[in-house]
Each structure stands twice: as C-alpha cells, then as structure tokens.
A and B are shown apart, each in its own frame.
Chain A
Amino acid sequence: MAPSLNPGDLVGRVTRDVERSVLRARNGVRYVRGTHRPKLGVTPKDVVWRSGKAELWRYRRGPGVRYGPPVVIVHSLVSRSYILDLRPGNSTVEYLVNAGLDVFMLDWGVPDELDADNSLETYVDGYLPRALAAVRRETGCDEVTLAGYCLGGVIAALYAAGHDDARVRNLILMATPIDFDEMGAMVAVLREGRLDPDDLVDDTGNVPADALYSGFYMLAPTTEIAQKATLLEHLWNDEFVEGFQAMAQWSRDHVPFPGAAFRQLVELLVRENALMSGSIRVGYREIALEQARGDVLVAMAQRDNVVPAGATEPALSLVGEPARREALRLPGGHVTFGTGKSAFKHTMPRLTGWITAHSDERPDGEEA
C-alpha cells in the first residue's frame, strides 16, 4: 500500500523514526557494552534434592496448586534448562505454575571430569528414580506427570518403561528424538563412522560444550547475519532486545556431554537406531518402550531443525500403550517449548491444557 502523503501523517512518521533512532542509539550502546543483560531462569524456586551436579528444583506456587499430580520436567543433557524458564512473562515454567500446577525441574548441572563415566543408566536408573522419590517426599503425592525435553524425553521414556514401580500418570515427550536416522547431517557423520565419538571427547572425558556449540552453529553459519540485521531494525524495542539477548545467551550456553553417555548414545541410539526397534538394552535388562506407564503425549514442532518432527513422530507408535498415545503438533522450532510468540500462542496453552485435563483438580489447594 502506498504511504500517505498527508503532512500530518508524514510528520508523525518522521517523529516516530527520530524517536526510534534515539532509542536505537541508547540500546546499541547498552548492547555493545554488555550491560542490561536480562536475568534468566528467575521464577522463584527452591532446591529440594541434590546429587552430584544434578539438582531438583521446586518452583514456588504463587496462586496455589489446583492440579495434581506434580509435573516433573526432565531437561536435556546438552543445553541449559533455563530455556524453559527464560524470562518473566515468557516462561513455560511460569505459565505452568500460574495454571495451578506444582512444577519441578530436574537440572543436570554442568558436568565435569567427575561425570565422565555417567551413562544412560546413571540418569535412567540412578538420578531420576531418586529425584522422583524426593518429589514424593516433598508433595506426598505418589504419581507424577513426567515431561522430558529433547534428550530428557529419552531418559523419561526409558524410566517410565524400565521401572516396574514407576508411578507415572502422564508422560510428555517434547521434541524427543526416537528415530536418529532423521536427525540430520551432524548425527549422520557419527552414524556413518566418519567421526568417532572419541574424536570429540576431550581430556576431561566429556564432549566439551564448545564442540556442541560449533556443531549447532555450523548447521546454519550465516543466519547470525540476518539475526543481527533484524536486531538492528528492532533495536529501539527494549522487549525485542531483551528477548534477543536471552536467546543469544542460551544458544551459546551449552554444557559438556558426559563421555560415557555420549559413546552409548552414538552406539545405541545413532548407529543401531535402537529406539526404533521398540526396545533398548539399558543396564542389565531390555527396556520395551511399549511398557511406558501413563498417558503419553508426543509433542513435536513442525519447524524444529534440531530434532525434526520426523525424528519424534515414531514415539506415537512405539512409546506406551497404543490406546493411551496422543500427538501434539506445534508450529515453531525446537525452542517453541520454552520461548517465543508461537510458544505463548500455541505451545504453552495446549501443553498446559493437556496436562490439566489429565490431572486431578484440587480446588482447595491441598498437597496430595
């Protein structure tokens, strides 16, 4: 549409652009100096259990708990958990808490050489059952809604399927890779053996965070140019700048991947693509994914290029009892489970709606 040439409109546009230029200059200086960085992961919480680097956080319940069982989020092994609690007003955790859910987060911390021997068993049979025992002690509630994000979903599914005593009411798999043949170029290199897991493990025994960052960065090395240009255009907008800084920080902020778990992941999940067979050897037993307890929600993002929807979708035919599986297809990318317009518009309401519909209402806010 052609812009209006009305003098009043013209003056209005010029005034607006001058104001924005002033704000751009101010925010540009702040951005370059690195001041005014947003605080991330600030929803009030308490550490209720700790073992090694792993911590279980319980978020404080402002308006009171209206639904049970508690929701336990199991985070991935490769990124920082604050993506799910990025900023006030733009946080999945905050959204769930405000919806009246009792929310816990199992954060794996930052592994170092002490964690180099951590394997899938360490997480599936060690940390997770003990963290869930702590949830039971804290809440007095026997069951949980277990929600795994990314690789955290694999850990959650293996736990729910591999433990006879797992009291999982609901199992939510968010961007959880099942079919590793669908995982793209970075994983293909490991699958085909052109890159050996030990090529990536450093002298701490872990895959360094830098290697993981480089891997993700190289998937689209020039997008940063477009992102920085978009930032320049919106530099006048405090909210946009804050969101940009938060995402930029998270996308650079990876954690080392424990070496033993990485070797196991490459051998079992990538090269054998074992999850696609419906069962996988963990510890001394074979875990059949179909044995996973609870109602299963498989949530996948249509534009996810880290864990493509095609890698997640097979969970719908493999995890849990066939009659208890549901799909949640979301627009957006890998981070739609934590932040962004699409998260607020689609992911958070639909995810929360599913959880509350599969929970018990506790109008009086009682614990269990």
Chain B
Amino acid sequence: MLSMSSGPPLWLQAVYRLERAIGGPIESAVRSDTYFDVVAQANRARAKAVGAVEGVSRRGLHLLNLPAGTDIRRVREQLSRMERRMNALTDELAALHDTRDGVR
C-alpha cells in the first residue's frame, strides 16, 4: 500500500466513491414510504406466522398436559408485575423514610 501523497490513497478514494455510488440510492430507497410499508407489513406477517405456529404447538403441548412457551411467558409477566409492585412499594417506603428524616 504505497502512498505517494498526503491525502487518502487512490484505492481508498475509489472505495469512497463506490460506496457513495451504491449507498446514495440505497439510502433513498430505505427512506422511502414503500420500504417502510414493506417493513411494517413484514413485521405484521411475521408476528401472525409466529402466533399461528405457537397456537398449534400450544394445543399439542396442552394435550400432553405440558406448559407451552406462551404459558411460561404469562407466568413471567405475572411475576414481573408482582416484582414491579414490590419495587414500587419499596420506593414509597424509602420516600417515607426520606421525608421522616427530613431529606428532600
């Protein structure tokens, strides 16, 4: 990589130019309405497909009296809600202590 001048070498300038030549149109494309519409539709389609697969596997697992991933998720959500409530109570208690100790 012999460099003959103080600026970026020719190969690097070529890469920059190439990157801009490709990048410019791609950036315009990914900022377009169509691109975001496609992303949104793809997201929804993926969520729908995952939901459908989960529904089938859940029914299968329930037939065998086994918990499915969605059951575990629900339990996890309930535990999180409880923990959040406990944290809120702890914070309220700490605030009461602060008030009692005269700390603003």
Contact = CB atoms under 8 A, between A and B. Distances in A.
A230 interface: yes
The main secondary structure of chain A at its interface with chain B is: helix
B12 A203 contact: no
B8 A233 contact: yes
B43 to A, nearest CB: 5
A136 B102 CA distance: 12
Interface residues of B, number: 40
Contacts of B104: 133, 136, 165
Contacts of A22: none
A114 B80 contact: yes
Interface residues of A, number: 41
B71 interface: no
Interface stretch (A217-225, A245-253, A275-283): A217-225
A285 B100 CA distance: 26
B100 to A, nearest CB: 14
Nearest to B12: A233
A42 interface: no
22 contacts: A1-B6, A3-B5, A14-B2, A24-B1, A113-B77, A114-B84, A117-B84, A185-B30, A185-B36, A189-B36, A189-B40, A194-B33, A199-B44, A205-B80, A218-B30, A219-B30, A221-B23, A223-B19, A225-B15, A225-B18, A225-B22, A230-B12
Interface of A: 1, 3, 13-14, 17, 20-21, 24, 51-52, 113-114, 116-117, 126, 130, 133, 136-137, 165, 184-185, 189, 194-196, 199-200, 203, 205, 218-223, 225-226, 229-230, 233
Given A221-B27, A223-B23, 11 more contacts: A1-B6, A3-B5, A133-B103, A136-B104, A165-B104, A185-B30, A189-B40, A218-B30, A222-B19, A225-B15, A233-B1
